[in-house]
Structure 1
């Protein structure tokens, strides 16, 4: 009999029900363009690049806080870094350039990201092959059923999830759009699957190899199902 101990874990954003690997960030960039695009261009700052810098700064500070033993929800980190990111972009007085209302408008857009094409097909393929799909979050504690008080990519996070599955005939995957995430999970005992929709370049020379690499979510599911150790 085929094993039913088959699992695929996806990362989750701060909004309930939205999976980080499964969302498109375009709505966030569109909101920045609509709200501050003309003002940013007048200062020779690209709206998309500002959005990327803001998110990346959030990832870094969230991780450093967690590593230091001070776990703060990612949404709160992102809110706090808005004016700092504007200053790093070259604005001498960010609080005259933008307002708290601007910041909150953009944060609301971040929480309303759209699901990527192919999500339904991805889940259907995994389900039909006997996989159970799970979610791992770095979101607000109030929105999470199970919290261990530390954020990814600490090995304890991935190990905590892996230990929830029976060990016999285990086929466990971690799927992500960030190579740092998928590679950390792989080093912690998962099979690793990475989809290039967000980062494009795998940078495998620093992150290492993946068991499955795909350019779309349906291809990711097909790769997991077809994978043989």
Structure 2
């Protein structure tokens, strides 16, 4: 049976900090533009926190609602006073974030080896398909698998089981590829293999005693190791 490579999307294939330039424009001049990087980081952190909290509460909503609610929170926390028009614009930008520059070629190399490549995300099927399509990556994948199909969020074990059942693949033949340590640990806990894409050398891994099977700096390095 062919090995499955299940790629996380946000932060692994798609650069979630690609919104910084738009934030700089929306935050304006007068000493506020320097908030853009901090705003982007806190928006992303809160987005994940909201998905975790909703998962624990059993109060699932689509991931884009978590994204909008975390945008509203970050605006309040940093007192940036974004208008509704600004927020709508930033949400639209989030739907067309750029891919990391090496992603397309690395995916092509991996697919050429006969491994099955799928996108596996907290985002809804339509949102992820649209995002990957505009980034030029959608055709690289056999399918897009969303947690929305089971109304849970990563790292709930149910979503990794759903991934395997959808593809009819054994845990030992399934690799999760992610830049998010929580996702890597979740996959390993569920019996899958996992590769951590450590895009920043400053990024720490959670000290839980659960390690990735493989750590790489980017998707080119992944293709070198697995290809």
Checking the alignment, whether the CA contact within 8 Å between 2:200 and 2:217 is kept in structure 1 is: no
Q: Give the corresponding residue for 2:156.
A: 154
More divergent stretch after superposition (192-201 vs 209-218) = 192-201
Which residue, 108, 113, 119 being the options, matches 2:103? 119
Checking the alignment, whether the CA contact within 8 Å between 2:24 and 2:34 is kept in structure 1 is: no
Q: CA deviation at 1:197?
A: 1.9
1:33 and 2:21 correspond: no
Q: Give the corresponding residue for 1:87.
A: 76
Q: Give the corresponding residue for 1:98.
A: 82
Q: CA deviation at 1:59?
A: 1.0
Structure 1 pair 208/201, CA: closer, same or farther in 2 (3 Å)?
A: farther
Q: Give the corresponding residue for 2:42.
A: 53
Gaps of 5+ in 2: 128-143
Q: CA deviation at 1:85?
A: 1.7
Checking the alignment, whether the CA contact within 8 Å between 1:174 and 1:182 is kept in structure 2 is: yes
Cα distance in 2 for partners of 1:74, 1:198 equals: 25
Which residue, 187, 190, 194 being the options, matches 1:188? 190
Cα distance in 1 for partners of 2:67, 2:201 equals: 20
Q: CA deviation at 1:127?
A: 1.6
1:165 and 2:168 correspond: yes
- SS for the counterpart of 2:76 is helix
Which residue, 63, 78, 89 being the options, matches 1:74? 63
Q: CA deviation at 1:124?
A: 2.3
Q: Give the corresponding residue for 2:112.
A: 128
Q: Give the corresponding residue for 1:16.
A: none
Checking the alignment, whether the CA contact within 8 Å between 1:27 and 1:114 is kept in structure 2 is: yes
Checking the alignment, whether the CA contact within 8 Å between 1:73 and 1:141 is kept in structure 2 is: no
Structure 1 pair 161/88, CA: closer, same or farther in 2 (3 Å)?
A: same
Structure 1 outlier segments of 4+, above 4 Å: 141-146
Q: CA deviation at 1:199?
A: 7.8
Q: Which string of whole-angstrom CA distances, capped at 9 and with x for unpartnered residues, describes residues 63-86 of structure 1?
A: 211221111112112212333222
Q: Give the corresponding residue for 1:140.
A: 124
- Over aligned residues, Cα RMSD in angstroms? 2.5
What is the number of residues matched between the two proteins? 208
Checking the alignment, whether the CA contact within 8 Å between 2:15 and 2:100 is kept in structure 1 is: yes
Checking the alignment, whether the CA contact within 8 Å between 2:27 and 2:36 is kept in structure 1 is: yes
